[in-house]
Amino acid sequence: MAAYDYVDYAVANGLAEVTLDRPDVLNAFHEPMIEEIVAALDAAQDDHRVYAIVLTGRGRGFCSGADVSDMGDERSMAASTRLWKVQNVVRRLYFGRKPSVAAINGPALGAGSDFALACDLRVMAESAFLREQFVNIGLVPGDGGGWLLPRLVGEAKAKEFLLTGRDITPEAAEELGLVVDVVEDDAVVDAARELAWELRDKPKTALRNTKALVDATQSYEDYAGAAIVAQEEATDDPEHTEAVTALREGREPDYDREY
């Protein structure tokens, strides 16, 4: 397993837990940390023991975005290269085959908000909030927020948060359906694990293919064609046969997995 300085990466019980680990700056990231997050997410995707991913932060914050001490001095080309690297975190989470759950344990600001939005499901602590704060510091949501948020809450609400930089509170997040649950601060990681275990225990090919099929921008005919291919793959998976057999026999399925 690779060594990490700014991320804690652990695999247990079918889950990969990726914990952002710069608590003294509310897990603000610099370039080495971004490279480690991407490496950890790639490791989770490649590990046959991993069926779901939990992303969270150490300490009081989920992720406060880019470390501002690294901002302002780079030229446009260097800034573009850096932004592309940050976008890779969103790419790994949103388009990765394995489902992910964000345990939003504290403030998620800027790109930190986008990392949470890129996960498939979210659990939020009572003291946490999301903030697409880019306009507040003269930037655009280049990491993915302007693409992710309209898909999750609709264009009108997305513009409200993107153009004003207002906080998305736990109450608003729950009302908008952005989060599965809001829980006490000290329970958020456990709640995310429970949710990830629920995903872990589904037939893996069906789950991963279902995740891939969800695309609000595609036509129905594009969806229908992709669904035929995905269904063929899911049907050929022995876990489908076991799931149906277990249902008929009135028992829990046994997928014979190595965790």
Q: Using one digit for the tens of pLDDT, what is the confidence trace for 89-146?
A: 999 999 999 999 999 999 999 999 999 999 999 999 999 999 999 999 999 999 999 9
226: exposed, middle or buried (Cβ count in 10 Å: 0-12, 13-18, 19+): middle
- Residue 163 CB neighbour total at 10 angstroms: 10
Tens digit of each residue's pLDDT (9 = 90 or more) over 50-82: 999 999 999 999 999 999 876 555 554 478 999
In this prediction, residue 72 carries a pLDDT of 54
pLDDT at 245 over 60: yes
Region 152-180 average pLDDT: 98
- Secondary structure element (H or E) that encloses residue 168, with its range: strand 167-168
Look up the pTM and report it.
Answer: 0.94
pLDDT at 180 over 60: yes
Which amino acid is located at 116 in the chain?
A
| Distance from C-alpha of 117 to C-alpha of 110, rounded to nearest angstrom | 11
Tens digit of each residue's pLDDT (9 = 90 or more) over 183-231: 999 999 999 999 999 999 999 999 999 999 999 999 999 999 999 999 9
Name the residue among 22, 110, 25 with its Cα closest to residue 58. Answer: 22
| Distance from C-alpha of 14 to C-alpha of 76, rounded to nearest angstrom | 42
| Distance from C-alpha of 127 to C-alpha of 66, rounded to nearest angstrom | 21
* Joined tokens for residue 160: 């409200």
